[in-house]
C-alpha cells in the first residue's frame, strides 16, 4: 500500500508538473487549449482565437483601470504620465524645435543617431539617456543665447548650435526605443504576457510624444507671435522675431533640464536587460561579435529597417509639398506666417490621430506591425501619385479641396503606418547587445532620406517633386514585404533565446517559435530559416534549459518537505524547481 501511495503521489506530481510547464511554455494568449500556436491556425480559427484573447485582455485592463479610479480618481492619469509621457519626454521636447530644417541640423541628427546608439550599447542605456538629455539641454541654451555682431555671424552661431542640438535629438531615437522596449521587461515590472500583448503599444505610446511635442511647438509659436506682435499680419519686427524664437527654445530647455535629473536619479535600472545579456555572453564592453553576427545573420533585416526608414523620411518631408501649394491657391499673395502655422497645427492634430490608432492596432495579431507598414506605404503612394499625374487640376481652385484632403490623409497614414512601425521595428528585430546600434544606424539612414529630399527639392519644380516622391512608397512597401519579419505577438525573451543559439554557433539547433514562418520575412522563409521549427522538440528543449538554469542557481536552496504524498511545497515556483530536481535525480 505504501508503494502504491508513493506511485500515486508521483503520478500526481508529474500531472501537476505538466500543468505548470504547459502554462509557462504554452501560454493561453498564444496557444489554444490543444497547444496549437496562433500562427498555425486557419484564418477562421485565428480570428476567433484573437478575438477571445483580446476581449479577455480588454476586460482585464478596464477592470484594472476601474479599480485604480475607485482607489484614486486621478491614478490612471498618473499611470499614463509615468509610463507613457515620461519615457517619451525626450521626443516630446525634441518635437519643439523650430520647423525650418537645414543641412547642418540633419547632419547633427545623423551623427547623434549613430554615435549615441553605439554608446547606448557600449556603456549602457542609462548613460546614453543621461548624455543625450544633457546634449539637448546645452544645445537649447546655445540656441536661446545665439548671437552675432553681424547677421552672418549670428547665422553661423545659430547653425552650429542647431548642429550640436541635433546630436542630442538624433540620440533620442535609439535610446528611447531601446529603453522603452527593455525597461519594463528587464526590471520585472511586466510579465512576458504583457510583453507579447502590449510591447508595441507601450513603445508606440512613447514615440507618439513626438507628435505632442510638435503640437506644443506650434501652439507656443502662435501664442508668442500674438503676444509680442499683437496680431498675426506682417511685417514682423526684428525684436518680435528675436523674442519669439528665443523663448520657443528656452521653454523646452527647462523641461530638458528636468529630464537630465529624472534620467540620472529615477532610471537606475535602464541598463538591466543589456547587462544581463552581456553577462550571459561574458562580454564587458561593446559586443563586437554580436555586431558582426548581425550583419551575417540579419543583414536583410537591417536592409528592411534602414531602407524603409529612408523611404519614409522622403515621404515625411514630402508632406510639406501639399501645404504651400493649397495655401497659395486658397489665399493668393498671403505673406502671414500664421496661416501656415494654423494649417500645420491642424495637420499635427490629424497626425496624432494616426499615432494613437497605430498604438491601438500595432499588437493586433490580425493586422500588426508588418501589414500596418505596408498598407501605410501603399496608401501614401496613392495619395501622392494622384496629384502627380493631374497636378494642374488639383493645384487650382477646382480641385484644391481634394488636394487639401490628400494632404491631411497622407499625414494620417504616414503615422498610422511606416513612421510608427519603423521606430519599433528597428529595435525589435535585433538582439539586445547591439539593439541601440542597429536602431541608430537605421534611423540615420532614414534621416539621409530627409537630407536627400532637402537637397533635391531645391533643384526641381513642385510637379516634378510629386512625380518623384510616390515611388519611395512602393520601394518601402517592397522592402518591408521581402525582408522585414513580423514580430507581432512574439515574446522579446524568445527572440533573445534564439540569439543565444546563434551567438554560440548553434543556430540550427534552435527550433522555437522565433523561427515560426509567421515571424520570418519572405526572404528568410525562402532561405529555409524556419525549416527546423519543431514545436514538440522545442518544448522538451525549453524544459531542459529550465533544468540547467535551476541547477546553475542552486536548487538546494529550495525547501523540501518530508514525503507524504508530495515532496514539494505548494509554491508553483518551488514546485517546478523541486520537480526538475527530482527528474534529474
Q: Write the DSSP string, 314-360.
A: HHHHHTHHHHHHHHHHHSTT---HHHHHHHHHHHHHHHHHHHHHHHH
* pLDDT band, residue 584 (cuts 50/70/90): very low
The dihedral formed by the CA atoms of 9, 15, 18 and 20, expressed in degrees to the nearest 10: -80
Give the Cα separation of 246 and 96 in Å (integer). 12
Q: What is the CATH number of domain 75-483?
A: 1.20.1250.20
Choice between 230 and 306, residue whose per-residue pLDDT is larger:
306
Average pLDDT over residues 416-435: 94
- Map grid coordinates 502590449 to a residue: 198
- For 235, the 3-state DSSP assignment is coil
* pLDDT band, residue 565 (cuts 50/70/90): very low
Give the Cα separation of 528 and 34 in Å (integer). 27
Report pLDDT for 293.
Answer: 93
Report pLDDT for 559.
Answer: 43
* pLDDT band, residue 12 (cuts 50/70/90): low
Residue 338 C-beta-side C-alpha neighbours within 13 Å: 15
Taking 70 as the threshold, does the pLDDT of residue 521 lie above it? yes
Residue whose C-alpha is closest to residue 222's, from 242, 237, 244: 244
Q: How far is CA 198 from CA 66, 178, 181, 212, 368, in A?
A: 19, 15, 10, 21, 11
Give the Cα separation of 318 and 454 in Å (integer). 9
Taking 80 as the threshold, does the pLDDT of residue 332 lie above it? no
* C-alpha cell at position 223: 501664442
* C-alpha cell at position 375: 498598407
Report pLDDT for 270.
Answer: 84
At 31, give phi and psi (nearest 5°): -130, 145
Look over the chain and give the mean of its residue pLDDT values, rounded to a whole number. Answer: 84
Buried b (16+ CB within 10 A) or exposed e, 522-546: ebbeeeebbeebebeebbebbbeeb
Taking 70 as the threshold, does the pLDDT of residue 564 lie above it? no
Q: Mean pLDDT highest for which of 41-50, 326-335, 540-549, 569-578?
A: 41-50
Report pLDDT for 579.
Answer: 45
Give the Cα separation of 381 and 503 in Å (integer). 40
Residue 433: count of CB within 10 angstroms of its CB: 26
Q: Is the dihedral of CA 319, 348, 180, 104 positive or negative?
A: positive
**Cross-strand bridge partners of residue 37:** 31
pLDDT digits (tens, 9 = 90+) for 110-141: 999 999 999 999 999 999 999 999 999 999 99
- For 37, the 3-state DSSP assignment is strand
* C-alpha cell at position 417: 503606418
Report pLDDT for 92.
Answer: 64
* pLDDT band, residue 98 (cuts 50/70/90): very low
Give the Cα separation of 159 and 404 in Å (integer). 33
Give the Cα separation of 42 and 191 in Å (integer). 28
Indicate the range of 88-92, 334-338, 546-550 predicted with least confidence. 88-92
The distance from CA 356 to its chain's CA centroid, rounded to whole angstroms, is 13
Taking 60 as the threshold, does the pLDDT of residue 560 lie above it? no
Give the Cα separation of 583 and 99 in Å (integer). 65
- Contact (Cβ atoms closer than 8 angstroms) between residue 135 and residue 164: yes
Average pLDDT over residues 272-286: 87
pLDDT digits (tens, 9 = 90+) for 566-580: 444 444 444 444 444
Residue whose C-alpha is closest to residue 252's, from 202, 199, 276, 216: 216
Report pLDDT for 6.
Answer: 47
Q: Which long-range contacts (CB under 8 A, 24 or more apart) does 247-251 make?
A: 247/220, 248/96, 248/98, 248/217, 248/220, 248/221, 248/224, 249/98, 249/140, 249/143, 249/144, 250/140, 250/144, 251/96, 251/220
Amino acid at each position: 500500500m505504501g508503494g502504491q501511495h508513493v506511485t500515486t503521489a508521483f503520478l500526481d506530481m508529474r500531472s501537476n508538473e505538466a500543468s505548470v510547464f504547459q502554462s509557462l511554455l504554452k501560454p493561453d494568449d498564444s496557444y489554444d487549449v490543444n497547444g496549437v500556436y496562433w500562427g498555425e491556425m486557419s484564418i477562421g480559427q485565428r480570428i476567433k482565437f484573437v478575438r477571445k484573447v483580446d476581449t479577455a485582455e480588454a476586460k482585464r485592463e478596464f477592470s484594472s483601470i476601474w479599480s485604480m479610479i475607485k482607489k484614486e480618481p486621478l491614478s490612471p492619469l498618473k499611470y499614463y504620465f509615468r509610463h507613457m509621457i515620461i519615457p517619451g519626454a525626450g521626443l516630446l521636447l525634441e518635437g519643439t524645435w523650430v520647423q525650418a530644417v537645414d543641412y547642418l541640423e540633419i547632419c547633427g541628427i545623423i551623427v547623434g543617431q549613430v554615435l549615441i546608439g553605439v554608446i547606448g550599447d557600449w556603456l549602457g542605456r542609462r548613460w546614453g539617456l543621461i548624455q543625450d538629455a544633457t546634449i539637448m539641454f546645452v544645445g537649447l541654451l546655445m540656441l536661446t543665447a545665439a548671437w552675432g555682431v553681424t547677421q552672418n555671424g549670428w547665422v553661423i552661431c545659430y547653425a552650429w548650435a542647431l548642429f550640436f542640438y541635433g546630436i542630442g535629438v538624433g540620440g533620442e531615437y535609439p535610446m528611447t526605443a531601446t529603453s522603452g522596449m527593455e525597461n519594463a521587461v528587464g526590471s520585472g515590472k511586466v510579465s512576458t504576457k504583457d510583453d507579447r500583448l502590449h510591447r508595441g503599444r507601450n513603445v508606440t505610446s512613447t514615440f507618439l510624444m513626438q507628435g505632442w511635442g510638435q503640437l506644443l511647438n506650434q501652439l507656443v509659436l502662435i501664442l508668442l507671435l500674438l503676444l509680442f506682435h499683437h496680431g498675426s499680419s506682417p511685417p514682423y519686427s526684428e525684436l518680435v522675431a528675436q523674442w519669439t524664437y528665443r523663448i520657443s527654445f528656452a521653454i523646452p530647455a527647462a523641461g530638458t533640464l528636468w529630464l537630465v535629473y529624472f534620467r540620472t536619479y529615477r532610471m537606475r535600472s535602464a541598463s538591466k536587460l543589456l547587462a544581463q545579456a552581456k553577462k550571459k555572453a561574458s562580454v564587458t564592453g561593446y559586443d563586437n561579435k554580436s555586431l558582426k553576427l548581425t550583419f551575417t545573420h540579419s543583414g536583410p533585416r537591417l536592409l528592411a529597417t534602414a531602407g524603409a526608414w529612408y523611404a519614409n523620411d522622403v515621404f515625411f518631408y514630402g508632406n510639406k509639398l501639399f501645404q504651400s501649394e493649397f495655401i497659395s491657391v486658397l489665399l493668393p499673395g498671403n505673406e502671414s506666417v500664421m496661416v501656415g502655422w494654423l494649417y500645420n497645427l491642424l495637420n499635427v492634430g490629424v497626425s496624432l490621430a494616426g499615432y494613437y490608432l497605430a498604438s491601438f492596432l500595432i499588437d493586433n495579431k490580425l493586422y500588426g506591425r508588418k501589414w500596418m507598414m505596408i498598407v501605410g506605404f501603399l496608401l501614401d503612394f496613392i495619395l501622392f501619385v494622384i496629384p502627380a499625374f493631374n497636378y494642374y487640376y488639383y493645384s487650382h481652385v477646382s480641385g484644391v479641396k481634394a488636394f487639401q484632403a490628400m494632404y491631411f490623409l497622407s499625414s494620417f497614414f504616414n503615422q498610422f503606418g511606416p513612421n510608427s512601425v519603423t521606430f519599433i521595428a528597428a529595435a525589435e528585430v535585433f538582439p539586445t547587445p547591439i539593439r541601440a546600434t542597429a536602431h541608430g544606424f537605421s534611423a540615420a539612414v532614414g534621416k539621409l532620406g530627409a537630407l536627400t529630399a532637402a537637397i533635391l527639392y531645391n533643384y526641381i519644380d513642385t510637379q516634378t517633386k510629386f512625380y518623384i516622391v510616390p515611388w519611395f512608397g512602393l520601394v518601402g512597401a517592397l522592402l518591408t514585404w521581402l525582408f522585414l519579419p513580423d514580430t507581432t505577438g512574439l515574446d522579446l525573451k524568445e527572440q533573445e533565446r534564439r540569439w543565444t543559439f546563434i551567438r554560440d554557433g548553434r543556430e540550427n539547433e534552435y527550433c522555437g517559435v522565433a523561427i515560426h514562418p509567421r515571424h520570418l520575412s519572405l526572404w528568410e522563409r525562402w532561405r529555409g530559416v524556419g525549416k527546423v521549427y519543431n514545436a514538440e522538440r522545442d518544448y522538451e528543449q525549453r524544459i531542459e534549459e529550465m533544468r540547467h538554469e535551476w541547477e546553475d542557481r542552486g536548487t538546494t536552496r529550495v525547501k523540501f518537505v518530508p514525503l507524504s504524498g508530495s515532496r514539494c511545497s505548494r509554491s508553483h515556483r518551488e514546485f517546478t524547481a523541486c520537480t526538475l530536481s527530482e527528474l534529474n535525480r
